[in-house]
Structure 1
Amino acid sequence: MTDHMEGYKEKIAALQENGELSQETLSLLTEMLGELVEMNRSNKALRRVILKGQSSSMSTRLREALYE
């Protein structure tokens, strides 16, 4: 997934260099990419918890997040 995010960053930079992005579009894409990075980090953390075998003693909040 990290490779995909780097690719997205490169594509955004290329579009910006060519002047093909408005400031509003660039702002939106940057915000979306930031959220994607955060979601990826969160997913990795949740996977680590599951892989450690702590799924039987998960907190209610974590269990609900996983079932969403």
Structure 2
Amino acid sequence: MAEKLDSYKERIAKLKEDGKLTADAEALLEELMMGLLEMERSNRALRKAAVKAAGGQTMSSRLRDALYE
């Protein structure tokens, strides 16, 4: 997800450079980026809590691969 966020930031910076963003659009994009960052942080925390609640055991890679097939 970090790569996507970096890509979004680069694309927004490019639009700013080219002067293709209005002040309102720039503010909206900044707000959306902050929301994405907060959701990513929250998601990481929830994943850690889920692993901790499961007794620290995560799914084995073989089991995970089998489930995804």
Match of 1:59 in 2: none
Cα RMSD for the two superposed structures: 1.4
State the structure with bigger RCO (CA 8 A, min sep 6), 1 or 2: 1
Q: Any unmatched runs of 5+ in structure 2? A: 56-69
Q: Percent identity?
A: 42
Name the larger-Rg structure.
2
The number of aligned residues is 55
Aligned equivalent of 1:41 = 41
| Structure 1, unpaired ranges of 5+ | 57-68
Normalising by structure 1, what TM-score?
0.77
Q: Structure 1 stretches (4+) deviating beyond 6 angstroms?
A: none
